[in-house]
Structure 1
Amino acid sequence: MSATAPTTATPLERIRILEPRHPNRSTGIINGRTSGILNWNDIPYPSFYRAYKELSTNFWIPDEVDMKADAREYGDLSAREKNAYDSIIGLLATLDSPQTRFIYNVAEYITDPAAHANAAIIGQQEVIHNESYSYVLSSITDLENQKRIFEIARTHPTILKRNAPIMTSYDDFMREKTAETLLRALIQSSILEGINFYSGFAYFYNLVRQNRMAGTGKVISFINRDELAHTKFISEVIRAIVGEHPALQSDELAEYVHRAFEHAVELEVQWTGEVLDGIDGINVDEMIRYVQYRANKMAGMLGIESLYPDATENVMPWIRAYADNFTETKTDFFEMRNASYKKTNVDNGFDDL
């Protein structure tokens, strides 16, 4: 099916808490009808139950991770390593902090009760992620240094620049509740979850493989596992929306997706060169190709062709953030329908860490 440009925006209806006159089984992912009563055995998208089981079994508590060794080793980091550690913690805080508010606002305009239930879990997990950064820092340094690191999150020009496209899409959705702004915001959210964390994750995993900061690495691995589940579910919601609403399958949206991915990789490359250059064990050129590889994987989750043909292999196999047994998707972004979307009931190829 050829894509066409939309002529008008598609307003979203806010859900009602309970509407007994409507059927229990949702009639649509957005702007549908449902009572609000959730029967997991009778939902339009069975993969949402798979997502629920995966999300709900990922429960963890930050302060169960022993940070005593990290407290000793933090002081032994070189100045460059400590700058990377502090800056990346600040970056991750700016990525996770807004997610809870965003996800809960999205949930108010998603008709399907199963999707709403999963959004509630994701929002709660983002709160835990944010707590974990505070816990990690309180375990290794004093309050004044903790405040300084969180000030990095708020003021660092590169962090602000790389977060700007995501936050702009979130703000657009908050101002104007339409299917178009929702899709753009969800696409940016998938970029946040599936691309923007990964150079930071890699830095901490690199420390762990050098037998340093193992407690921090364990916390990061828990966050990473959660983000993989979030990414899968968000991509499923996106595919459900475009599958149910052919009018949204436009050239304009396709261009937006490609531009968003390319811009995210460009900013991630800039951040990598600024923060990780000169770190022992990190090759910046490899990291750039790895980020491009992540972008290809994320594009595949949405049924988009690879954006970086030269980044077909993981050049940093020591990062066990995903599995290479991914089932490649060749479907065009604008040819997805409910039938193909429901195939996501089969695991999409991401493994737990």
Structure 2
Amino acid sequence: METTTIDSGFSAVNWNRPEDGYTQMFWNQNVRQFWVDEEIPLSDDKLAWMTLTPDEQRTYEEVLAGLTLLDTVQGSVGMPRISEWVPGFQAKAVLSFMGAMEHMHAKSYSSIFSTLCTSARIEALFDWVRGQPELQHKLAVIHGAYTRIADEESLYRAMASSVMLESYLFYSGFFYPLYLAGQGRLTSSGEIISLIIRDEAIHGVYVGLLAQEALNRLSDKVRARAEAGVVELLETLDALETRYTQALYHRIGLEEAVLRFSRYNADKALMNLGLRPHFGVEAQDVNPVVLAGLRTETKNHDFFSTKGNGYIKATRVEPLSDLDFYFPELAPDLQLVVKRDGRQVPFDEMRIVRAVQKAAAATGVALDFEWVARRIVEPVKLEASARSLTVEEIQDRVERGLMEISPEVARAYILYREERARARRRA
């Protein structure tokens, strides 16, 4: 009788053993900010929709239709292909979660369409997507990078393309919903865009970190070629994005403002990849109403709003914690901090503040330091009042707090820690 040998080489993901210093943090952040489009009362936008001119309505519809295509490709091809080539099981899990949220984003646009548009108009929009030349060309470039992964260099290019999509190409579409919501129009649809931006922010940061690791595994010669390839990719996409923006926004006179906004975010995409900015567009050059929309802290538009992006579903109500009963002015002396060489030194909260300030300055993000105190400094002090913390433990807690406040600043802080760690190993 013939017997079958069972392959015993399969491994399971072990979340009790971190694969790196940040993947579990990104998993937790993704889970914390999970949402579904049904939570937003889109019917509130119907009256505001009727006040838009036909050109304004057409632009709004087309930017959302274009975003739907980008999310569809990212969820169906981009994240799965990159996940297939990333070695760590925890990294695969995070990328899979992100891919699922890309599908949630695409579905949310259909929810907006079904609220504001007729069935005939919706069908016409999806026909427009299939025939819009610049949109199709952009996706062909990105899709080509995803489907040609064969080695470390092509994996890096695919990851760089993903970051360009997440942190750059989406933003020409995000501009108009943010622009209108900032004026108090179509605020519920704008709420969905804010939730999507919150997701895309950590998607771009996380894949950017993976890309930097892939780049560091390449030889010097291949690394230089790969970095040059990113600049070439950016210039190709910028030429297409310029024509796409002109095609969508010329009828309402916003094309120049949208291009500045897109290039501002293109530089952010390069920063996510650890590369230098290319366009040099500063925050003050961007429309202030739209720039304000990039802030992803809790929002609520007015007294009558049903929810903002800080809404907590009844099934996930946050319980009271020890921190709610912690009063810093009454706290006992803090325990000593254990340094890497074993020495013990007094706890100095200004070290945390200065490190966060440096990370924020490196990204150009203006942090609300009341949030920094509440979400980072005071929780660390509470723990330090009970026991001695190591420097590494404190830095881990700073990372987690920054992910809740600003993923972009968290990325800069993580990169700073990794660079210091490499410097210590070389010494």
Q: TM-score, normalised by structure 1?
A: 0.78
Identify if the C-alpha distance between structure 1 residues 80 and 255 changes in structure 2 by more than 3 Å, giving closer, same or farther.
same
Three-state SS of the structure 1 residue aligned to 2:252 is coil
Q: Deviations over 1:262-296 (max 9, x none)?
A: 2222322222222123537x4x3333222222122
Matched residue type, 2:270: A
Q: How does 1:11-50 map to 2 (within 5 A)?
A: 19=9, 35-39=11-15, 41-50=16-25
Matched residue type, 2:86: I
Alignment correspondent of 1:303:
274
The alignment yields a C-alpha RMSD, in angstroms, of 2.8
Alignment correspondent of 1:56:
31
Aligned partners of 1:293 and 1:314 also within 8 Å = no
| Residue number among 200, 213, 219 corresponding to 2:173 in the alignment | 200
Q: How does 1:103-252 map to 2 (within 5 A)?
A: 103-173=79-149, 177-246=150-219, 249-252=222-225
- Structure with the higher fraction of residues in helix conformation: 2
Identify if the C-alpha distance between structure 1 residues 121 and 241 changes in structure 2 by more than 3 Å, giving closer, same or farther.
same
Aligned partners of 2:66 and 2:135 also within 8 Å = yes
Q: Tell me how far apart the structure 1 counterparts of residues 99 and 235 of structure 2 sit (CA, whole Å).
A: 27
Matched residue type, 1:313: A
Q: Tell me how far apart the structure 1 counterparts of residues 8 and 85 of structure 2 sit (CA, whole Å).
A: 14
Matched residue type, 1:172: R
Three-state SS of the structure 1 residue aligned to 2:181 is helix
Aligned partners of 1:193 and 1:228 also within 8 Å = yes
Q: Tell me how far apart the structure 1 counterparts of residues 129 and 102 of structure 2 sit (CA, whole Å).
A: 16
1:179, distance to aligned residue in structure 2 (A): 2.0
Are 2:362 and 1:328 equivalent residues in the alignment?
yes
Q: Which runs of 5+ in 2 are unaligned?
A: 1-6, 297-356, 364-394, 410-427
Aligned partners of 2:202 and 2:408 also within 8 Å = no
Matched residue type, 1:289: R
Alignment correspondent of 1:338:
none
Matched residue type, 1:109: W
Equivalences, count: 303
Three-state SS of the structure 1 residue aligned to 2:148 is helix
Q: Tell me how far apart the structure 1 counterparts of residues 59 and 14 of structure 2 sit (CA, whole Å).
A: 45
Matched residue type, 1:194: S
Identify if the C-alpha distance between structure 1 residues 116 and 345 changes in structure 2 by more than 3 Å, giving closer, same or farther.
farther
Q: Tell me how far apart the structure 2 counterparts of residues 67 and 279 of structure 1 sit (CA, whole Å).
A: 24
Q: Deviations over 1:129-163 (max 9, x none)?
A: 11111111111222221111112221112211232
1:314, distance to aligned residue in structure 2 (A): 4.1
Alignment correspondent of 2:378:
none
Alignment correspondent of 1:289:
260
Matched residue type, 1:121: F
Q: Tell me how far apart the structure 2 counterparts of residues 37 and 64 of structure 1 sit (CA, whole Å).
A: 32
| Residue number among 84, 93, 97 corresponding to 2:68 in the alignment | 93
Rg comparison, structure with higher value: 2
1:303, distance to aligned residue in structure 2 (A): 1.8
Aligned partners of 1:18 and 1:36 also within 8 Å = no
Q: Tell me how far apart the structure 2 counterparts of residues 314 and 105 of structure 1 sit (CA, whole Å).
A: 37
The farther-off stretch of 181-190 and 41-50 is: 41-50
Aligned partners of 2:81 and 2:146 also within 8 Å = no
Q: Deviations over 1:47-72 (max 9, x none)?
A: 11121111111211112211123223
Alignment correspondent of 1:9:
none
Higher relative contact order, structure no. (Cα contacts within 8 Å, ≥ 6 residues apart): 1
Aligned partners of 1:169 and 1:188 also within 8 Å = yes
Alignment correspondent of 2:243:
270
Matched residue type, 2:172: S
Q: Tell me how far apart the structure 1 counterparts of residues 102 and 153 of structure 2 sit (CA, whole Å).
A: 25
Q: Tell me how far apart the structure 1 counterparts of residues 220 and 81 of structure 2 sit (CA, whole Å).
A: 24
Alignment correspondent of 1:312:
282
1:73, distance to aligned residue in structure 2 (A): 2.9
Q: Which runs of 5+ in 1 are unaligned?
A: 1-16, 21-34, 330-341
Matched residue type, 1:122: M
Identify if the C-alpha distance between structure 1 residues 146 and 313 changes in structure 2 by more than 3 Å, giving closer, same or farther.
same
% identity of equivalent residues: 22
Q: TM-score, normalised by structure 2?
A: 0.65
Aligned partners of 2:62 and 2:125 also within 8 Å = yes
Are 2:227 and 1:254 equivalent residues in the alignment?
yes
Aligned partners of 1:74 and 1:82 also within 8 Å = yes
